[in-house]
Chain A
């Protein structure tokens, strides 16, 4: 297994596996960078609701494509359906929060309703013997096993576009996250900035559906950002570091699932990202547990010495 893993890490497990690995790394980078802004603007749970709201769209897109005579597994088509359904979920969320329902309750309602609807649609599809539905359930937890070259290229290209847009909008996004009122008075269209951030987050969700799966993609948005925040107080550094952590997790997780074919890709990537966070919480300078206990111990020693004299 170690040899296979090493091969996979060094892109030596064949052309497809290498593409998948690069795709997963780029997805991790895009999701990490984007997630730094998403968490900063406190939209982490909203992105989870969006992710779960993609499921009915995946099922319906499959049905439409199968009805049109294809095998219904064209990734771009499935992602289009997922995107539309996530957008509907977001609109439902906006309507619910306008009725004075607390946001967390509205998120819970939308998330579970859309997810439930998606599961019902998938179950119907399984019993229809239409197209080739095998593999649709891999959108739940992610699987790189059946990933095609075009799929990997889609993830890579989409990730690159997402990152470019994020870089262009970074100043407006940071100002909107820090002080929306001030940002508005400085001429920033904060509603547009918020919408753009949600679209970029949705893009990461969609790109990550195949690799990480819709249940866990939120972790790839949040966890690297949390880990990176422990290392730096500068937004640019936090975003880039979150991207790097996401990229390493993505690459390593994809390689692991090549070496261990039974291991679902999504959970592997997410656990690696969490490991990075746990390590950061332990050893990060100043904010890490170790640094903090050393600082406290030193202070206590100084105080004790002061008492004796």
Chain B
């Protein structure tokens, strides 16, 4: 699976080369190389424990990698970080936190305000607009703990939108959300792609992969397959990633 070193062309939003992450002595992902072209929308799929979240967190530098190199827009990730937004799993934070919905969205504006800068009216309007794009304008002053799971997910995505990033990385954005939220989120993500931005999402519902994503990265500790959905999302490759389960929903 060790592909030759990808040349970080300018049209590559994210290039991962030979990335290995180990918890203890067991590699969670091993020598993963993958490229995510600019303007694409990629599903990272694979069974539980395949290392999907680990891969993305390591790519962002949130957990240390044993080996490998990651570049975003041709630059080392820390340098490119202002152009990247990350939406963690909803369960990653304590929602009984003393904050209102709009407070959380405004956290996405930290690069503009810094430690002490004022939230100007323009910035406030930007945060409100991001909430509105997810149909949450009426919830701005709600306490975040009073939201449903789907609404919490939308708030997280609104915070990412406020960052105005060119690369948006989401960890299971559709986990445990209802159909209305799922279609609201997918509409926003497709809107981002239409603007030439790049979307990468850990995804679990195999039946929606072809409709939602134009590329897939099939992962099971190693890269099983990577490429355009039509060519890559095939029963044989998916079965290989998931360990030969019967997957009749997938085109042969």
Q: Which residue of A168, A184, A229 is within 8 Å of B98 (Cβ)?
A: A229
Chain B nearest CB from A173 CB (Å) reads: 10
Chain A nearest CB from B119 CB (Å) reads: 10
List the one stretch of A79-87, A91-99, A231-239, A264-272 in contact with chain B. A231-239
Residues of B within 8 A of A175 (CB): 107, 110
The listed residue with most B CB atoms (<10 A of its CB), out of A174, A184, A185, is A185
Residues of B within 8 A of A187 (CB): 81-82, 110-111
B110 x A186 contact (CB < 8 A): yes
B98 x A233 contact (CB < 8 A): yes
Residues of A within 8 A of B98 (CB): 40, 229, 232-235, 237-238
Residues of B within 8 A of A195 (CB): none
**A172 at the binding interface (Cβ < 8 Å):** yes
**In the docked arrangement, what's the CA distance between A229 and B96, Å?**
10
B97 x A169 contact (CB < 8 A): no
Chain B 91-117 interface residues, beta-carbon cutoff 8 Å to A: 92-94, 97-100, 103-104, 107-108, 110-111, 113, 115-116
**In the docked arrangement, what's the CA distance between A171 and B119, Å?**
12
**A179 at the binding interface (Cβ < 8 Å):** yes
Residues of B within 8 A of A233 (CB): 98-100, 143, 145
Residues of A within 8 A of B113 (CB): 171
Chain A 150-197 interface residues, beta-carbon cutoff 8 Å to B: 168-169, 171-172, 174-175, 177-179, 181-188
Can you offer 6 A-B residue contacts whose CB atoms are under 8 A? A171-B113, A178-B99, A179-B93, A185-B85, A187-B110, A233-B143
Q: Which 8 A-B pairs have the closest CB atoms?
A: A233-B143, A186-B110, A235-B98, A179-B93, A238-B98, A181-B62, A233-B98, A178-B97
Q: Which residues of B contact A (CB under 8 A)?
A: 57, 60-62, 81-82, 84-86, 88, 92-94, 97-100, 103-104, 107-108, 110-111, 113, 115-116, 143, 145, 159, 163
